Amino acid sequence: MAKQFDVVVIGAGPGGYVAAIKCAQLGMKVACIESRETLGGTCLNVGCIPSKALLNASHKYDEAKNHLSKLGIEAKGISLDLKKMMTNKDTIVSDLTKGIAYLFKKNSIEWITGLASFTSNTEITIKNGKSTQNVIAKNFIIATGSNVTTLPNIKIDEERIVSSTGVLSLKEVPKHLVVMGGGYIGLEMASVWNRLGAKVSVVEFANKIVPAMDNDVSSELQKLLEKQGVQFYLNHKVIAATIDKKHVNVDVQALDGKTKTLSPNVFLVSIGRHPNTNNLNLAAANIALDEQGFIPVNKQYQTSISNIYAIGDVIGGMMLAHKAEDEGMAVAEILSGQKPHINYNAIPAVIYTHPEVACVGKTSEELSDSGVDIKSSKFPMSANSRAKANNDTNGFVKIITNAHTDQVLGIHIIASNAGAMIAEAALAMEYSASAEDIARTCHAHPTTSEALKEAALGAWSQSLHL
């Protein structure tokens, strides 16, 4: 006889496992289906967490080898043990996946391993190897995330031609790594392997890296990464990639039609992600996809079938773990009769290069194109006392406001700890703060967050330390 639940969540990534926990906390009987043997989805297993572990380790290696001497710290005989670095990464991932399993147990959530597919709008079949079981639920939450996107003429083998998954587990530092795509993931992986000794080239079709980013930040980040040794081919596209005995021959073409061949040891394809809806048999539940393959939902995250909800990457928008988490919480609250709201204009995004890049709200270009009369202010980290004391003065804070009302419309930060600094910016935007509100808020001294206050002062009145 099929097991019955109030809610069944399909997918145990950040959106799915948070939705499951919140539903259980609100008194529902919950099951969560996951095809992997571990919880946490792409983010925890082969995405956000392992990449940040490698970014942290590679940054420390680079600091010890190339930058500590100017602080009076002489470190000799610095060497890389890549196997140990990878083991540390794997341990971190393992500890965190076990942590989610503990939370499932604590909240009495039934974790079922296998591939789920709908047989109707109230029942799914779960296959795990040769075993099959059916589950019935009043409500379903689809949180199956996304997969890497590639080109039809490029075959990923995860050894020489790799995705964002394979590049996290290379067995040796490549002499030359070519990255296809100058987005968040591509730049982070370029940073990791560049620090560890690889020559790195990034091929980007657009005329700037991270095309949706504010132009001032994009330009500054490219300059800083170039100073670190990363080479960029902007306005170029990859037209073919073939493997020979020693290299991957990557043919790239410029806008003028001229082509050249790059010959790296490893070629990373990092051109985005697409929604993971394969094998769900959505037709059996009368759910159709849109033209891009996403699942359409209404403002309550309901699909075309009212008892089936969808969140995270499968519904489009910003493909970010924290966006999926907030949607997971929101659906749980909706199912319990509450009326939550997510302000999508106040969701921050971070690139974990060094320096980090973080932004929330609109860019100058977006606002100008919309005809909004804006005012902007930039405060350089070189004028911030804590950044100066840390010998880490690259970057700036940029605040964009409505020129007439002083309301903050966008905040863009490039700084060593921009990912932490952006939280205050997101809070300010969530509550429709003005630049004056931020400027009049007392900030501890000396901290890098004072740069945000100074930028706000500049937008509202006039910076003090510039």
Q: DSSP letter at 427?
A: H
- Of 67, 274, 445, 465, the active-site residue reads 445
Distance CA(362)–CA(462), nearest Å, equals 22
256 contacts: CB under 8 Å, gap ≥ 6: none
Please say if 445 is a catalytic residue: yes
Q: E strand or H helix at 254, and its extent?
A: strand 248-254
**CA 60 – CA 87 distance, rounded (Å):** 16
**Closest C-alpha to 56, from 188, 171, 186:** 188
* Helix 450-460, helix 418-430: angle, nearest 10: 50
CA separation for the pair 408, 417 (Å, rounded):
21
Beta strand 408-415 with 356-361 is antiparallel
Strand order through the sheet with 199-204:
161-162, 266-269, 176-180, 199-204, 231-234
**Cβ–Cβ under 8 Å, residues 393 and 224:** no
Three-state DSSP class for residue 78: coil
User: Distance (Å, rounded) from C-alpha 189 to C-alpha 444?
Assistant: 34
DSSP states along 105-160: HHTTPEEEESEEEESSSSEEEEEETTEEEEEEEEEEEE---EEE---TT----SSS
Write the DSSP symbol of residue 231.
E
Helices (H) and strands (E) counted in the chain, each on its own, are 12, 22
Q: Which long-range contacts (CB under 8 A, 24 or more apart) does 71-80 make?
A: 71/391, 80/173, 80/196, 80/197
Q: How many CB atoms lie within 10 A of CB 328?
A: 29
**3-state class of 337 per DSSP?**
coil
Burial track 426-447 (b if 16+ CB lie within 10 A, e otherwise):
bebbeeebbbbbbbeeebeeeb
Name the DSSP class of 97. Answer: H
Buried b (16+ CB within 10 A) or exposed e, 224-244: bbeeeebbbbbebbbeebeee
| Packing angle of the helix pair 14-25, 321-335 (nearest 10 deg) | 30
Q: Catalytic amino acids? A: 445
